Amino acid sequence: NADVMQNPRHLVRRRGQEARLRCSPMKGHSHVYWYRQLPEEGLKFMVYLQKENIIDESGMPKERFSAEFPKEGPSILRIQQVVRGDSAAYFCASSLGVDTQYFGPGTRLTVL
Amino acid sequence: GQQVMQIPQYQHVQEGEDFTTYCNSSTTLSNIQWYKQRPGGHPVFLIQLVKSGEVKKQKRLTFQFGEAKKNSSLHITATQTTDVGTYFCAGKIGAGSQGNLIFGKGTKLSVKP
């Protein structure tokens, strides 16, 4: 499958639990971006990674959120001690170079 | 901070009417991209504009990039129900791998049959 893959597609967590969101970029893409989208709102940039490096994390909350893109395996967005306000759709996108981004189907996180 | 403003936020049209969404940046852009997100779906890349004054067409869709590379528009002629969705512009500020895309908040288009 050549598309950007994200899993799980839907994730339900209780307050205080951890959420792990995975993103497998399109084959050959080494640039990964994470975005958050609240209902009826636009995409908010969170973090931009290249293999093993965080290039720009200016959109990521300083606490509880972290991201990685290891040499092998998918990129992971990790949210510790989730709160209700973390409920949103989280999209990852990948690109070959620095331009056109191809989006995955998203993970819809619900915090109870 | 750097912003990309998009208007209108919502647009309701009758099928067959035209539709336009506008995107404005406070900063000169190196390029601008347009994406479409269907309800419940994910953003899908439509097009990229790079040159000052560039105009590109895709069937009923016309994309323009302003002369100053600070604004852009997407125009749909004779809308159809399949055009329903949210249209996002995304401006690239800065060159090379350090330049990030900044998305507008999108224009949500609804089409009444």
Query: Does the pLDDT of residue A42 top 90, yes or no?
Result: no
DSSP A10-58: EEEE-TT--EEEEEEPPTT--EEEEEEE-TTS-EEEEEEEETTEEEE-T
Q: What does the pLDDT read at residue B35? A: 95
Residue B35: is it exposed, middle or buried by C-beta count within 10 angstroms (0-12/13-18/19+)?
Answer: buried
Q: Is the minimum CB–CB distance between A39 and chain B shorter than 8 Å?
A: no
Over chain B, what is the mean pLDDT?
92
What residue type is assigned to position A74 of the chain?
P
Give B106's contacts in chain A (Cβ within 8 Å): 42-43
Closest Cβ opposite residue A105 in set B42, B99, B101: B42
Residue B62: Cβ within 10 Å count: 15
Confidence of residue B1 (pLDDT cuts 50, 70, 90): low
Confidence of residue A39 (pLDDT cuts 50, 70, 90): confident
- The stretch B42-69 carries a mean pLDDT of 96
Angle at B89 between CA A97 and CA A108, to 5 degrees: 80
- The stretch A70-86 carries a mean pLDDT of 95
Query: Does the pLDDT of residue A58 top 90, yes or no?
Result: no
Give B35's contacts in chain A (Cβ within 8 Å): 103
Give B90's contacts in chain A (Cβ within 8 Å): 101
Residues in contact with B59: Cβ distance below 8 Å, sequence separation at least 6, in sequence order? none
What residue type is assigned to position B89 of the chain?
C
Q: What does the pLDDT read at residue A54? A: 93
Confidence of residue B79 (pLDDT cuts 50, 70, 90): very high
Over chain A, what is the mean pLDDT?
92
Query: Does the pLDDT of residue B99 top 70, yes or no?
Result: no
Q: What does the pLDDT read at residue A52? A: 87
- Residue scoring higher pLDDT (B22 or A98): B22
Query: Does the pLDDT of residue B96 top 70, yes or no?
Result: no
- Please give the residue of chain A at the shortest CA–CA distance from B47: A100
Q: What does the pLDDT read at residue A41? A: 78
Residues in contact with B20: Cβ distance below 8 Å, sequence separation at least 6, in sequence order? B73, B74, B75, B76
Radius of gyration in angstroms for the set of CA atoms belonging to chain B, rounded to a whole number: 14
Q: What are phi and psi of B107, to 5 degrees?
A: -120, 120
Q: What does the pLDDT read at residue B102? A: 85
Give the Å distances, CA to CA, from A88 to A5, A40, A62: 18, 11, 18
Q: Is the minimum CB–CB distance between A102 and chain B shorter than 8 Å?
A: yes
